[in-house]
Amino acid sequence: MCQLQRLGFLITILQISFINGQRLPYIACPGIFRYLGHQNEYIGHLKLILDSNSVENEVRIEMSQPGRRRPPTAGLLNFLEDEDSLSYNLRNNEPINYRIDFPTRGVVPKLTRVMLNGDIVCDAEELPPPSIRLSLSRTLRTTTPLAAVPQRPDRPLWSRDPPRNFSRDYDEQELPQRTRPQQPPPPPRNIGVYEEQELPQGNRPLQTPPPPRQQPQPQWRPEPENSVRPAVPLVPPVQSFPFQTIGQLNGICGREKTIQTPFIHGGNEVERGQLPWMTALFEQVGKEYNFLCGATLISARTVISAAHCFRFGSRNLPAERTTVSLGRNSLDLFGPGYTSGVSRLLLHEQYNPNVYTDADLALLQLTDRPVFDDYIKPICLWNENYLLDLPSGYKSYVAGWGEDEKGNRNTRLAKMTDTDIITHSECRGNLSAENARFITSHTICASNALASGPCSGDSGGGLMLQEQDIWMLRGVVSAGQRMINRCNLTLPVIYTDVAKHMEWLLKSMWF
C-alpha cells in the first residue's frame, strides 16, 4: 500500500454488475479475458503480462461479430491503468489491464485471437457466417529500460513460461487499481448564435437540436474484498495522464501561446495558439462535415458546449455523428490541428428545451486524447477564489466562427470580442417579457456597446474571463436576439453560467 501511495493512485470503487439472461460467446482463454456488464450492455476485460525488456509492446485482438453489416468503427481498446501504474506493472511482470468497448450496441462479439508482439496468445474459431471480423490494437511504449528495476517482494510473479499469459482465475485475483494570456483585444465588429428562424419575440438558440439518447453512467459492483489490491474503476474508459484532477490541470490551463502579433487591425481575428482551448464541433452528414457549434476544452478528455446544439425541437444529434476540432483557428479540418471523434455525449440532467438557457450544457468525451502543447490546452474552470456574482461592467470575452456583420454564415478564421457583464435587472429591462423568461439564476447576461458579440453559429462557445493573465471559463453561449435576417447585438446575449453548475461539471467530466 505504501508503494501505491507513493505512486499517487486514486482509489475509486465502482459497482460491477453481471448481466443475466443473455448467452455470451464461448471464451477460449478465460485466464486472460472475461465479459463484464452494466445496464444490459457488455464490455471486455483483457489482462496480459507484457515484455519488460521491449521498448514497444503491441497487443492486437481480433473479434468475430454476428451479422453482415460492418459497424463504423471496430470498437475501442484502452488501458485501464494510469501511466505510473502501467510502468510499475510492466517492470514488475504484473498484468496490464485493457478495456474493450464493442462497436454495436446490444451485440457481443466473440474474441477469436489475442496477439502480443506478433505472437499468438489466444486463438479460437470465428463465428459461422454471416459474421464479420473486427481488429483492434494498442501499443505501450517505454523510453527507459525496465527489466533491471527490482521486483516487489510481497507479490508472487506470474510465470514467464508458456503459456505465459494464462493466469489464475479472475475470482482469485482482483484488477489493479487505476490508479489552467495576453492583453485584452480591442472590440471587433461582429463575430459570428442563432438559427435563421427568430425566437419568440426575437429569442432563439444558436442551433436547433432534440434529445440524444441519455447515456447512463455505468454502475459497477466491487470485486471480492479478500484480494490483495482494491478494484480498478472501469468507467470512465481510460483516465488521461498525467492530469487526473482539476488541481493537476491548474499548472497548465488557461495559458496562451506567446503571440507575436496578438490581433490584426480591428482586433477581431484570433491567431492560432491564442485561445488553445477553443473548439469547433462538426456534424457528420454522409461524407460531409458541417460546422455545428463552438465548444471549449476543459480537460484532456472533455469538451463543454451547449446542450441545444444536440437536442432542440426535432433535432437529436448523437455522439457518433459529432467530430471535434482542436488546435485550429480556422474551420479547415485538413489544416494543422487535432481531430477526434466523440465516444460519449452527456447533457445536463436539468436541461429543458422550453427554458433551455438555465442548464444549456453538454459534455463530450473525446475518443482520442490530445497532447497538450502551444495550440491545444484546456481553459481553467471557475473556483471559489474568484467572484461568483459579477458586477455590471465586468469585462469578459467571447470568440467563435459564427455569422459576421456582412451576413456570412461562418467566418473562415475565428473572431473574438470583449463584452461587458450586465446585471439580471439590466438584462430584463432590455428584453421583452417573453424573452426575459430565459434569464434565470443560472444565467449571465453580457452586452457590447458597439453591438459586437456572438451570432448564429457561436452557440456552445465560451464566455471567458481573464484573471491575472490566466483565462477562465465562466459561461457558455446560449441565446441571443435576432431580427429578420441578422443578429440584434444591440440587445444582451444570454449565457449559461458554468460557475452555477460546478458540482455537476466536476462529477461528470472526464480526465
Instruction: For residue range 464-481, list pLDDT tens digits in order.
Output: 999 888 899 999 999 887
Q: What is the DSSP letter of 278?
A: E
**Higher pLDDT, residue 460 or 180:** 460
Query: Rounded distance, CA 122 to CA 112, Å?
Result: 7
Residue 38 confidence class, pLDDT cut points 50, 70, 90? low
Domains recognised in the chain with CATH numbers: 2-147+156-172 (no CATH), 187-511 (2.40.10.120)
Instruction: For residue range 256-273, list pLDDT tens digits in order.
Output: 765 433 322 223 789 898
Q: What is the mean pLDDT of residues 434-454?
A: 86
Query: Rounded distance, CA 154 to CA 151, Å?
Result: 9
Q: What is the mean pLDDT of residues 166-180?
A: 41
SS3 label, residue 408: coil
How much is the CA Rg of the chain, to the nearest whole Å? 25
Among 115-129, 138-152, 167-181, 384-398, where is mean pLDDT lowest?
Answer: 167-181
Among 37-41, 153-157, 178-182, where is mean pLDDT lowest?
Answer: 153-157
Q: What is the mean pLDDT of residues 331-348?
A: 92
Establish whether the linkage from the previous residue to 163 is cis, with ω within 30° of 0. yes
Cell numbers representing residue 53 in the block: 525488456
What's the pTM? 0.54
pLDDT at 141 over 90: no
What is the pairing mode between strands 415-422 and 362-366? Answer: unpaired
Neighbours of 197 (CB within 10 A): 9
Query: Rounded distance, CA 308 to CA 304, Å?
Result: 12
Cell numbers representing residue 361 in the block: 450544457
Q: What is the mean pLDDT of residues 112-135?
A: 94
Mean pLDDT of the chain: 75
Most confident stretch, 82-91, 174-183, 320-329:
320-329
Query: Rounded distance, CA 441 to CA 314, Å?
Result: 27
Instruction: For residue range 79-110, list pLDDT tens digits in order.
Output: 888 777 887 888 788 999 999 989 998 899 99
Residue 434 has a pLDDT of 81
- In a 13 Å sphere around the CA of 2, the CA atoms on its Cβ side amount to 2
Q: How many residues does the chain have?
A: 511
Question: What is the DSSP track for 100-140?
Answer: EE-SSTT--PEEEEEEETTEEEEE-PPPPSSEEEEEEEEEE
| 185: CB partners within 8 A, 6+ apart | 262, 263, 267, 268, 397, 416, 417, 418
First to last CA, the chain: 24
Residue 22 has a pLDDT of 57
Query: Rounded distance, CA 69 to CA 76, Å?
Result: 18
Question: What is the DSSP track for 454-478?
Answer: --TT-TT-EEEEEETTEEEEEEEEE
Instruction: For residue range 286-310, list pLDDT tens digits in order.
Output: 888 999 999 999 999 999 999 999 9
Query: Rounded distance, CA 455 to CA 224, Å?
Result: 55
3-state secondary structure 362-381: EEEEECCCCCCCCCCCCCEE
Enclosing H/E stretch for 354: none
Residue pair 206/192 in contact by the 8 Å Cβ criterion: no
pLDDT at 195 over 90: no
CA-based torsion, 334, 339, 341, 347: positive or negative? negative
Enclosing H/E stretch for 398: strand 395-400
**Higher pLDDT, residue 198 or 139:** 139
Which amino acid appears at position 396 of this protein? Answer: S
Share of the chain above pLDDT 70, in %: 69
Residue 176 has a pLDDT of 43
